[in-house]
Amino acid sequence: MEPMKKDLLIRGARIYLRPITADDTNMAVRWRNKPSVVENFIYRSPISRQDHEAWLADKVFKGLVHQFIICRNEDNVPLGSVYLQHFEEVHSRAESGVYLGEDQAYGKGIGTEAVRLLADYAFGTLGLHKLSARVLAYNKASIRLHEKAGYVQEAYLKEELFLNGKYEDLILFGAIAPHSDKEISVDDE
């Protein structure tokens, strides 16, 4: 996958998505280390500024991850992040993720709107066929968010992950591009 264009802006009704930059590092590290964010991530080790800078250099700036900052339209305040990763070009799919870093964003539909905008980008701009998302089964807010954003539960994996000294269930969600039920013909010539 190609890196995102630096001037890309995806605008919704209340929020917009803009590509993450190196200038977002302190904010992103603060968000990712917040206990309310960490408890809903599979990868739970604290991240440092150097970890985040390596993520940007090795993943985002090379196009292996498309990561956006969620900003409020009315005042440009950053609220969280959405991203696409694990691109599989042969299968035209990727994994999506979302986290809200500011408490003022919780319970207001911000995450749902961000995930919908990300899906529009993935299907419309990148031409992907399918998105997947992994959600810890106890994260009821993320389950509702994904359902409202058009994802459907595809699998429920019992005791899939060992986190904080106990096994946790994991739900796999999927979203298919609109109008993707058409057969694709391949010419072997």
**pTM of structure:** 0.91
- Please tell me the distance from the alpha carbon of residue 110 to that of residue 120, in angstroms, as a whole number: 15
- Please tell me the distance from the alpha carbon of residue 21 to that of residue 65, in angstroms, as a whole number: 13
- Please tell me the distance from the alpha carbon of residue 82 to that of residue 22, in angstroms, as a whole number: 16
pLDDT digits (tens, 9 = 90+) for 78-128: 999 999 999 999 999 999 999 999 988 888 999 999 999 999 999 999 999
Q: What number of H helices and E strands is found in the chain?
A: 5, 8
pLDDT digits (tens, 9 = 90+) for 16-67: 999 999 999 999 999 999 999 999 999 999 999 999 999 999 999 999 999 9
Amino acid found at 164: N
